[in-house]
Amino acid sequence: MKKLLGILLCISFALSANAQLLWKISGKGLEKPSYIFGTYHLSPLSIKDSIAAMPQAMNETSQVYGEIVMADLMQPAAMQSMQQQMMLPKDTTLQSLFTSEQYEEIGKAVKENMMVDIAMLARLKPAAISQQLTVLIFMKHTPGFNPQTSLDAYFQQQAGQQGKKVGGLETAQSQIDILFNNQPLRRQATLLYCMASDIEKSVDQSKRLILAYEKQDLDAMLQLMEERDGNSCDPLPGEMEALLDNRNKAWVEKMPSIMTEAPTLFVVGAGHLPGSNGVLNLLKGQGYTIEAMK
């Protein structure tokens, strides 16, 4: 479950004041400041209205960069690639990845939350089922959650309507690979079983993350993400590095040239902000001034 939450949120010692989601980036020769805002995919859009400095950040920037350009995911090539990457190899079935008892338990969770028989999902990778199951669970258990709206997409849409440039720190294909190809099939199966076998725990953990996010408390979010069960549901060595640290470092290599080109509002998953290898600390290490904005 921790890995699934990591995919949705990507939470990773942060800078001193952690009850913030919006940060100002200045110094190191920048003529005008840029900003970075942390999102959470299960949070309602209304969180943006609780940040008084958000209009300032939007008005003072002339381009918006997300993890990816969200519209790229809707392009035919990306949609075709996603459909292909969601599918198991021809010589593998979903049932072959589980014991009979595990398969039955997952089938019950799928039937209850996705309203389909698990046999209909026989060609899907476990990670693809995990993604769909997660969305449907939160539609069921989280009032106001709408998977059709997201903070990431909102800011990019606003930028487009205002004639601002929209860019991405990664490609759509890289995100597809993170979702469906980042782990071996057996590992995907383990994580799907972790989730399906204890839905209530999964919901409780994510509700606590939502509450911490709405309080803009990155420390609390970090503590939740660092909880461990002492079993195979915990992240394996290297998994969180691949999901967070390595990507953060790659982004921070790109951000200076982007900010030099034009003042930028970066909108990325909140979990990429804190941590010794988080984007905020990495930018500070490069000599930028990082200030929390309320």
Instruction: Give helix 185-196 / helix 199-214 axis angle, nearest 10°.
Output: 90
Predicted local distance difference test score (pLDDT) of residue 141: 66
Residue 2 pLDDT exceeds 60: no
List the single range of 53-57, 138-142, 179-183, 272-276 with lowest mean pLDDT: 138-142
Distance CA 71, CA 119 (A): 32
> CB neighbours of 247 closer than 8 A, spacing ≥ 6?
170, 272
> CB neighbours of 143 closer than 8 A, spacing ≥ 6?
none
Reported as a single tens digit per residue, the pLDDT across 224-262 is: 877 888 898 898 988 888 889 999 999 999 999 999 999
Domain definitions of the chain by residue range: 2-293
Residue 38 pLDDT exceeds 80: yes
Q: Residue 64 has which token pair? A: 């918006």
Distance CA 64, CA 164 (A): 7
Predicted local distance difference test score (pLDDT) of residue 3: 47
Q: Which neighbouring-strand residues pair with 34?
A: 25
The band of 135, judged by pLDDT with boundaries at 50, 70 and 90, is: confident
101 class by beta-carbon count within 10 Å (0-12 exposed, 13-18 middle, 19+ buried) = exposed
Our CA angle for 133, 134, 140, nearest 5°, is 90
Pick 235 or 168 by higher pLDDT: 168
Q: What is the pTM of this model?
A: 0.88
Quote the DSSP letter at residue 228.
Answer: -
Reported as a single tens digit per residue, the pLDDT across 195-224 is: 999 888 888 887 888 888 888 888 787 788
Dihedral sign for Cα atoms in the order 221, 227, 232, 233: negative
Predicted local distance difference test score (pLDDT) of residue 116: 94
Pick 40 or 247 by higher pLDDT: 247
The band of 264, judged by pLDDT with boundaries at 50, 70 and 90, is: very high
Amino acid at 208: R
Strands (E), the chain: 22-26, 34-39, 63-66, 165-168, 264-269, 289-293
Averaged over 117-121, what is the pLDDT? 96
The band of 271, judged by pLDDT with boundaries at 50, 70 and 90, is: confident
